[in-house]
Chain A
Amino acid sequence: MMLLLRLYYEFFKAGLFAVGGGLATLPFLYDISDRLGWFTHQDLSNLIAISESTPGPIGINAATYVGYLTAGPLGAVIATLGLITPSIIIIIVIAQMLERFRSNPLVDKVFYGLRPASTGLIAAAGFLVFKNALWSSEALSILSAIRWPAVVLAVVLYFAIKKWDKHPIWYLAASAVVGIVFHFSAL
């Protein structure tokens, strides 16, 4: 019981102070590992590999995985709830304020600047994923660094999505099959 409370408290803290998305929770996990020894650094590197090979936000995957290692299935639930509690409270407060001040012209001006910035941040994140997926950094020359099969897949997907606009699951599933058939991880 004490362990579960402690688990909730530690992940509540991580959720409260990790600003800027799931990867920002990782330093907090290393800190918990050092202070409390619930799991090892090796566990955390496993976690990152697993997180990259499963759906779901990275921070949530991390809390679930580490919570499970510490205290079983109940630990997984408690750690995850701890991580999301601060967000829920903070966002509900902000959402209430937004509702109240929506007609305020100042808020309008702030969002006029925020929207293109938000799009810019998302584009930058997308650009980095693009670089990692289509570009192998170890290669010797620029031409051989480009992962051509991945580029071909990306171009085909782009036009397929533009043409048919089906649910993303179909494109994700098709890409997984292409990846397996053509051994994409070895490219």
Chain B
Amino acid sequence: MKELWTLFITFAQIGGLTFGGGYAMLPMLQREVVERYGWATEEELTDYFAIGQCTPGIIAVNTATFVGYKRRGVLGGICATLGVVAPSLVIITIIAAFLQNFADNPYVQDAFAGIRVCVCVLILRAVEKLWKKSVVDRPSLVVFALVFVASAFLDLSPIALVLLAGAAGVVLKALAQKGGDRA
């Protein structure tokens, strides 16, 4: 019971501090889920993000369900997910009810222009950490570089990229084994 509550509250904090979509939640996930509670490893987080890319639904929700389920089964998955959506529910309902012009307020615009810069830097730091765990040799560096270019400059669908990368993993490992046998 207590751990279900911890899951809910932790993910509520993460949801409440995620500015600008699922990726922005990564720094918070690393801090709370990996470093503080040890609910998942850095590698598992990248796995969840990859799976979240090609399954329906919002990445933040998918990741919360994964971590919660891993900890405490179905109920854990539900608690973590309700936690991650709770702040949005409260904040957006208040804004929709009372503050329709909220986004036009100049102070809000200035504050969020500053926050967006911070989110960039937080994501950069998060990528540095993931890099150490996922780009482990030359083939994985190539996969990283190709996916980065295809996604940032060619606007290819992430689903296709994730599926191709999974297939590439199988092929690359097979080639490495073959090379190893010969050597």
Q: Are B127 and A123 in contact (CB under 8 A)?
A: yes
Interface class of chain A by DSSP: helix
Q: Which residues of A have CB within 8 Å of B51?
A: 91, 94
Question: What is the CA–CA distance of A162 and B57 in the complex, to the nearest angstrom?
Answer: 33
A127 interface residue (CB < 8 Å to B):
yes
Query: How extensive is the interface on chain A, given as a class?
Result: 35 or more
Q: Are B61 and A116 in contact (CB under 8 A)?
A: no
Q: Which residues of A have CB within 8 Å of B157?
A: 20
Could you mark each residue 57-83 of chain B with 1 if its beta carbon is under 8 Å from any beta carbon of chain A, else 0? Answer: 111111001100110001001100100
Q: Are B111 and A114 in contact (CB under 8 A)?
A: no
B106 interface residue (CB < 8 Å to A):
yes
Question: What is the CA–CA distance of A16 and B122 in the complex, to the nearest angstrom?
Answer: 30
B117 interface residue (CB < 8 Å to A):
yes
A residues sitting closer than 8 Å to B (CB atoms) are 15-23, 25, 46, 49-50, 52-61, 64-65, 68-69, 73, 76-77, 80, 83-84, 86-88, 90-92, 94-95, 106, 108-130, 132-134, 150, 153-154, 157-158, 161-162, 167-169, 171-172, 174-180, 182-187
Could you mark each residue 4-38 of chain B with 1 if its beta carbon is under 8 Å from any beta carbon of chain A, else 0? Answer: 00000000000111111111011110010000000
* 3 A-B pairs closest in CB distance: A113-B169, A179-B114, A87-B57
Q: Which residues of A have CB within 8 Å of B43?
A: 111, 115
Taking CB atoms and an 8 Å cut-off, the chain B residues in 147-177 that contact chain A are 147-148, 151-152, 157-159, 161-162, 164-170, 172-174
Q: Are B85 and A80 in contact (CB under 8 A)?
A: yes
| Given contact pairs A87-B55, A111-B47, A113-B143, A134 touches B120 in the complex (Cβ within 8 A) | yes
Question: What is the CA–CA distance of A17 and B26 in the complex, to the nearest angstrom?
Answer: 24
